[in-house]
Amino acid sequence: MSPGSRVAMCPGTYDPVTLGHLDIIERAARVFAEVVVAVTDGSFKKQPMFSTEERIAFVRDAAAERGLHNVRVEPLRQLVTEHARAIGAHAVIKGLRAISDFDYEFQMAQINKHLAPELETVYLPASPRFSFISSSGVREVAAWGGDVEAWVPAHVARALRERSPRLASAKDAVVGGGKTE
């Protein structure tokens, strides 16, 4: 392995960051000299609940709490392959929870390989205790007032509690035919 290949990138939306994400980041940080967590600035698939700045802060705070000094967090505002080249990364780290994750991530790895043949994709399977956790599931449970503290860092759980009453009110308005009393 060349010295430059010791830099890896973990791209994602992290909306919000979960303990499953952090498990993958922490494990990658044990293997690579530096891990750059690249938080997507936007998504074609959905509107994030939290701003890019909030999501970056969530990941930074969680990495600092875990003493992950070789983890850097920054926004991702370009193609993964372009960002990897810009930061000197030779590997993209992706966590896999289920075979459905692999199907999607394999397709993305093939696209990335076409765009940047020098870039490798490294898959890390989810730890069993985190294999069912997804950001969308966390958001859904939090929106309905459920307890998500076992799935996200404490500061993220607080942010979800602060944001969720508004989400629940919005859902009530839609369920009630869009009328509020």
Residues that are catalytic: 21, 46, 97, 135
Contact 92, 84 (CB under 8 A): yes
In whole angstroms, what is the distance from residue 125 CA to residue 37 CA?
17
Contact 39, 15 (CB under 8 A): no
144 residue type, one letter: W
User: How would DSSP label each residue in 47-102?
Assistant: --SS-HHHHHHHHHHHHHHTT-TTEEEEEE-S-HHHHHHHHT--EEEEEESSHHHH
Q: What are the distances in angstroms from CA 39 to CA 73, 154, 178? A: 7, 20, 34
Q: What are the distances in angstroms from CA 70 to CA 27, 32, 66, 96, 120? A: 12, 9, 11, 22, 20
Task: Give the tokens for residue 168.
Answer: 């629940």
